[in-house]
């Protein structure tokens, strides 16, 4: 049962293009993705249609090559995806997972400063240990 509509990996690639361009025609999306992947134009069209059905994208049908616009902000979509994944992890492992991510990602100076600030603040109230709840029934 799909409580909340989710974006598949392939659909995500389409959204990235449109988020970055702000809005786009199918031709723009297709041109870029045909270079970037092995997909055929028809595949990309299918993805665009599915994204509309899922309400992640809408077509401005005023003019003829439709102009597709995102119905969800990139930041929000990222937040949802990342949270969706982290919700599955053992609480105890999240810190290590994030550290791993920091090590393996290219991050700008300003984002690093931001993170250090966030962490420094968090340090004031952080628990000595976080314990594993993998065997417990979900509260709530």
Partner DNA sequence: AATAGAAGATTACAGTTGTAAACTGAGAAG
Partner DNA sequence: CTTCTCAGTTTACAACTGTAATCTTCTATT
The residues that bridge with 67 in the sheet, in sequence order, are 60
Binding residues for a copy of itself, per CB under 8 A? 9, 12-13, 16-17, 19-21, 32, 35-37, 74-75, 78-79, 81-83, 85-86, 88-91, 93-116, 118-120, 122-123, 126-130, 132, 134-138
Binding residues for DNA, per CB under 7 A? 1-2, 6, 8-11, 25-27, 38-40, 42-43, 45-47, 49-50, 59, 64-66
Give CA–CA dist 17/30, Å, rounded.
10
Give the list of residues 6+ apart from residue 83 with CB closer than 8 angstroms, or none.
none
The one of DNA, a copy of itself, none whose footprint includes residue 4, by CB under 5 to 8 A per kind, is none
Nearer to a copy of itself, 62 or 137 (CB): 137
Give CA–CA dist 33/44, Å, rounded.
8
Closest separation between CB of residue 77 and DNA, Å? Answer: 13
| H-type alpha helices, the chain | 9-21, 26-36, 41-53, 74-86, 91-104, 109-123
């Amino acid at each position: 049962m799909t409580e909340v509509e989710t974006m598949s990996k392939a659909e995500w690639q389409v959204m990235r293009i449109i988020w970055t361009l702000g809005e786009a025609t199918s031709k723009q999306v297709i041109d870029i993705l045909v270079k970037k992947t092995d997909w055929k134009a028809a595949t990309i069209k299918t993805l665009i249609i599915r994204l509309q059905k899922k309400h992640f994208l809408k077509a401005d049908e005023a003019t003829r090559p439709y102009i597709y616009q995102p119905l969800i902000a990139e930041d929000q979509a990222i937040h949802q995806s990342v949270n969706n994944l982290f919700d599955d992890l053992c609480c105890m492992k999240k810190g290590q997972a994030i550290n791993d991510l920091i090590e393996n990602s290219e991050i700008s100076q300003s984002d690093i400063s931001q993170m250090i600030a966030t962490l420094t603040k968090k340090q004031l109230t952080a628990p000595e240990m976080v314990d594993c709840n993998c065997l417990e029934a979900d509260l709530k």
